């Protein structure tokens, strides 16, 4: 599946799953291994490629009718070069954002589609670097082919604004046109019983962005307890003929910041949940729907209402499920722990800007996403770093002013960006990392940081704990509760959750992390990562619960998700 709901009735869209040929190739393109693999998947799931870092060429035969086609890739890790009948037709960097390739005037019949994936850590890659999660290799999310007419709808954004009488809604459509054939184009959008029409669409450089407005009263709002979803259906007409369509699923939900409060549809919320990496056991980052669903079952069972997509944009199917279940989501651009030197990589700014744009344009309509994040624990304590943060915050504001922006920092008493963000987010690890010292409890540690924050910000704003936790090796139990035991992890998490959630100043506590995850073998802190994993999950990589799963469930149960 590409999405958890039908996105088209008119447009022909076919998923290109099944078995493809995979050849591992050297830098000159010379094959040195051949395999049959299912797509989507990662090559680390193939015997002999469990730790392969290099290039892989996927190939499959594709049958099309005559006309224009569009290849849609939901994720290739981490760099993709796309070839159609041997001709290069596309390139994309970043495993975690979708991209598409248009091919005009294709002949009817069978064609060869090849995708070269590259998961190496080269100087060209500014965001995929050796890290505390693994950069996998391969076509790790679904691929589809679409057969199009002379014009099609690239995206439909539904912007809902809550008013005293209900909702004001603006529809924004981006429409692309292959050739100027002197035809007339118009569009319509239907949502919740209303239909709006957009006449006289004219294209400039092959595309047009158009909009229309309406308003609603009496619709069912989207909230965690009532995650009401509606289908918005856009249709495109050429000389009056219906030629293309696109469906999006939306919720009537708005998010506001009021001083230190986070308000969803006017209700003050408290966020309690987990940081989750997109990974599962030997399937790596190619997590299938049923296991995404399983993760959400487990997370829901812990009385959580919040998930942070640490540290990159997530699969749209997972976000669809969060919409359906009423989870709040913090989705973030791809970055973790990039120091100033890495932020000065010549590709950093463009690769970051591309990732943020693709994230927002593709994930705009998810009601579950209540905030956008950037640059987890990057160099927000340096002048140059702060310039990059400002650039990215400005870009996000231009792309989507409706959602607050934040970034998780570890530079607590040196951060230069507290006044840039709408929500301040702190990653803290008292009782685990020694440099925090053991001389004061989590809340005292928070208070020391708050004193500094108050000297930096021009106005009060919400503060959430975006990460806190401790590691435990699954199955290691001790009477002494020594470090790395499940028992110690329970003690630390209980103290963290109870302590931090007791403060009225804090609007959320997010555990690092939901599940243990594999890390890159050459990550700088590999020696504190037994089994080459980050072991701070409350479940292991196969979702076997540690004792801390039960501890977190009981602690979160006592926390009201709404503040008075």
Residue 308 as a binder of ligand ADA (CB under 6 A): the answer is: no
Cβ atoms of residues 95 and 76 within 8 Å? yes
Cβ atoms of residues 114 and 59 within 8 Å? yes
Within 281-404, strands assigned E span: 306-308, 328-332, 369-373
Residue 467 as a binder of ligand ADA (CB under 6 A): the answer is: yes
Q: Of 156 and 470, which CB lies nearer to ligand ADA in the complex structure?
A: 470
C-beta of 371: minimal distance to ligand ADA in Å? 16
C-beta of 524: minimal distance to ligand ADA in Å? 11
Q: Of 79 and 534, which CB lies nearer to ligand ADA in the complex structure?
A: 534
Ranges within 484-513 binding ligand ADA (CB under 6 A) = 512
Q: Of 103 and 470, which CB lies nearer to ligand ADA in the complex structure?
A: 470
Q: Of 377 and 422, which CB lies nearer to ligand ADA in the complex structure?
A: 377
- Going by C-alpha positions, the residue among 288, 332, 281 that lies closest to residue 307 is 332
Q: Of 320 and 516, which CB lies nearer to ligand ADA in the complex structure?
A: 516
Q: To which residue do tokens 């209402």 refer?
A: 305
C-beta of 122: minimal distance to ligand ADA in Å? 22
**To 5 degrees, how large is the angle CA 436–CA 442–CA 445?**
60
Phi-psi region of 303 (alpha: psi -120 to 50; beta: other; left: phi over 0): left
C-beta of 196: minimal distance to ligand ADA in Å? 43
C-beta of 529: minimal distance to ligand ADA in Å? 8
Question: How many residues contact ligand ADA, by CB under 6 A?
Answer: 12
Ranges within 529-548 binding ligand ADA (CB under 6 A) = 534, 536
C-beta of 528: minimal distance to ligand ADA in Å? 8
Peptide bond into 420 cis (omega under 30): no
Q: Of 276 and 536, which CB lies nearer to ligand ADA in the complex structure?
A: 536
User: Which residues on adjacent β-strands are paired with residue 56?
Assistant: 24, 117
Residue 316 as a binder of ligand ADA (CB under 6 A): the answer is: no
Give the up-direction half-sphere exposure of residue 318: CA atoms within 13 A in the CB hemisphere: 29
C-beta of 376: minimal distance to ligand ADA in Å? 5
Cα–Cα distance, 110 to 64 (Å, whole number)? 7
Q: Of 364 and 512, which CB lies nearer to ligand ADA in the complex structure?
A: 512
Q: Of 304 and 310, which CB lies nearer to ligand ADA in the complex structure?
A: 310
* Residues in contact with 150: Cβ distance below 8 Å, sequence separation at least 6, in sequence order: 68, 177, 178, 179, 181, 183, 238, 243
C-beta of 523: minimal distance to ligand ADA in Å? 9
Q: Of 156 and 410, which CB lies nearer to ligand ADA in the complex structure?
A: 410
Spell out, one character per residue from 387 to 426, where the chain touches ligand ADA: x when CB under 6 A holds, - when not: -----------------------x----------------
Q: Of 145 and 500, which CB lies nearer to ligand ADA in the complex structure?
A: 500
* Residues in contact with 122: Cβ distance below 8 Å, sequence separation at least 6, in sequence order: none
C-beta of 319: minimal distance to ligand ADA in Å? 20
Residue 551 as a binder of ligand ADA (CB under 6 A): the answer is: no
Burial 204-240 (b: 16+ CB within 10 A, else e): eeeebebebeeebeebebbbbeebebbebbbbbbbee
Cβ atoms of residues 326 and 224 within 8 Å? yes
Chain residue whose CB lies nearest ligand ADA: 132
Angle between helices 316-325 and 348-363 (to 10 degrees): 40
Q: Of 60 and 407, which CB lies nearer to ligand ADA in the complex structure?
A: 407
Cα–Cα distance, 277 to 282 (Å, whole number)? 14
Q: DSSP secondary structure string, 458-496?
A: SS---EEEEEE---B-TT---TT--TBSHHHHHHHHHHH
Instruction: By CB under 6 A, name the one of 11, 53, 336, 518 that touches ligand ADA.
Output: 336
Q: Of 119 and 407, which CB lies nearer to ligand ADA in the complex structure?
A: 407
Q: Of 446 and 512, which CB lies nearer to ligand ADA in the complex structure?
A: 512
C-beta of 435: minimal distance to ligand ADA in Å? 11
Q: How many CB atoms lie within 10 A of CB 558?
A: 10
Spell out, one character per residue from 268 to 307, where the chain touches ligand ADA: x when CB under 6 A holds, - when not: ----------------------------------------
Cα–Cα distance, 514 to 276 (Å, whole number)? 5
Residue 132 as a binder of ligand ADA (CB under 6 A): the answer is: yes
Cα–Cα distance, 220 to 251 (Å, whole number)? 9
Ranges within 352-391 binding ligand ADA (CB under 6 A) = 376-377
Alpha helical stretches, state H, 400-434: none
Residue 73 as a binder of ligand ADA (CB under 6 A): the answer is: no
Residue 45 as a binder of ligand ADA (CB under 6 A): the answer is: no
Peptide bond into 222 cis (omega under 30): no
Q: Tokens for 26?
A: 């050297």
Q: How many CB atoms lie within 10 A of CB 90?
A: 18
C-beta of 531: minimal distance to ligand ADA in Å? 14
Residue 320 as a binder of ligand ADA (CB under 6 A): the answer is: no
Instruction: By CB under 6 A, name the one of 119, 188, 425, 427 that touches ligand ADA.
Output: 427
List % helix, strand, coil for the chain (3-state, nearest 5): 20, 40, 40
C-beta of 408: minimal distance to ligand ADA in Å? 6
Q: Of 40 and 284, which CB lies nearer to ligand ADA in the complex structure?
A: 284
SS3 for 491-507 is HHHHHHHHHHHCCCCEE
- Going by C-alpha positions, the residue among 220, 233, 322 that lies closest to residue 276 is 322
Ranges within 206-265 binding ligand ADA (CB under 6 A) = none
Q: Which residues bind ligand ADA (CB under 6 A)?
A: 132, 310-311, 336, 376-377, 410, 427, 467, 512, 534, 536
């Amino acid at each position: 599946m590409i999405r958890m709901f039908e996105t088209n009735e008119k447009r022909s869209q076919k998923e290109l799953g099944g078995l493809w040929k995979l050849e591992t190739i050297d830098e000159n393109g010379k094959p040195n291994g051949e395999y049959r693999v299912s797509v989507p998947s990662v090559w680390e799931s193939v015997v002999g490629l469990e730790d392969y870092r290099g290039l892989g060429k996927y190939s499959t035969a594709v049958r099309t009718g005559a006309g224009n086609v569009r290849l849609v890739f939901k994720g290739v890790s981490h760099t993709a070069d796309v070839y159609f009948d041997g001709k290069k037709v596309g390139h994309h960097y970043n495993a975690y954002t979708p991209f598409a390739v248009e091919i005009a005037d294709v002949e009817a019949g069978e064609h060869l589609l090849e995708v070269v994936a590259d998961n190496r850590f080269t100087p060209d890659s500014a965001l995929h670097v050796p890290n505390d999660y693994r950069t996998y290799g391969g076509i790790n999310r679904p691929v589809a082919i679409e057969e199009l007419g002379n014009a099609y709808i690239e995206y439909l954004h539904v912007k809902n604004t809550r008013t005293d009488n209900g909702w004001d809604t603006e529809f924004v459509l981006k429409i692309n046109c292959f050739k100027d054939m002197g035809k007339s184009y118009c569009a319509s959008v239907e949502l919740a019983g209303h239909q709006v029409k957009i006449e006289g669409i004219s294209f400039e450089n092959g595309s047009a962005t158009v909009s229309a407005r309406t308003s609603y009263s009496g619709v069912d709002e989207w909230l965690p307890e009532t995650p009401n979803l509606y289908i918005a259906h856009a249709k495109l007409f050429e000389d009056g003929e219906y030629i293309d369509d696109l469906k999006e699923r939306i919720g009537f939900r708005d998010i506001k910041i009021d001083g230190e409060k986070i308000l969803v549809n006017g209700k003050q919320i408290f966020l309690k949940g987990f940081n989750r990496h997109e990974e599962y056991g030997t399937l790596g980052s190619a997590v299938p729907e049923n296991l995404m669903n399983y993760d959400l079952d487990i997370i829901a069972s812990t009385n959580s209402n919040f998930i942070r997509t640490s540290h990159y944009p997530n699969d749209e199917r997972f976000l669809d499920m969060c919409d359906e279940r009423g989870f709040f989501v913090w989705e973030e651009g791809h970055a973790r722990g990039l120091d100033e030197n890495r932020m000065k990589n010549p590709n950093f700014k463009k690769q970051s800007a591309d990732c943020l744009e693709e994230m927002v344009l593709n994930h705009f309509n998810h009601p579950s996403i209540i905030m956008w994040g950037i640059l987890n624990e990057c160099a927000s304590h340096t002048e140059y770093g702060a310039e990059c943060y400002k650039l990215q915050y400005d870009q996000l504001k231009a792309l989507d002013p409706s959602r607050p922006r934040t970034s998780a920092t570890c530079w607590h008493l040196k951060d230069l960006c507290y006044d840039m963000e709408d929500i301040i987010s702190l990653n803290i690890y008292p009782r685990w990392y020694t440099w925090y010292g053991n001389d004061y409890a989590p809340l005292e540690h928070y208070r020391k940081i708050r004193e500094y924050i108050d000297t930096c910000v021009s106005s009060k704003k919400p503060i959430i704990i975006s990460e806190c936790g401790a590691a435990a090796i699954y199955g290691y139990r001790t009477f002494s509760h020594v470090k790395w035991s499940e028992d110690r992890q329970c003690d630390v998490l209980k103290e963290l959750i109870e302590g931090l959630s007791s403060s009225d100043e804090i609007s959320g506590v997010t555990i690092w992390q939901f599940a243990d995850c594999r890390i890159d073998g050459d990550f700088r802190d590999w020696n504190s990562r037994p089994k080459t994993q980050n072991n701070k999950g409350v479940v292991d990589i196969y979702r076997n619960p540690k004792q801390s799963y039960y501890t977190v469930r009981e602690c979160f149960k006592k926390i009201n998700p709404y503040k008075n």
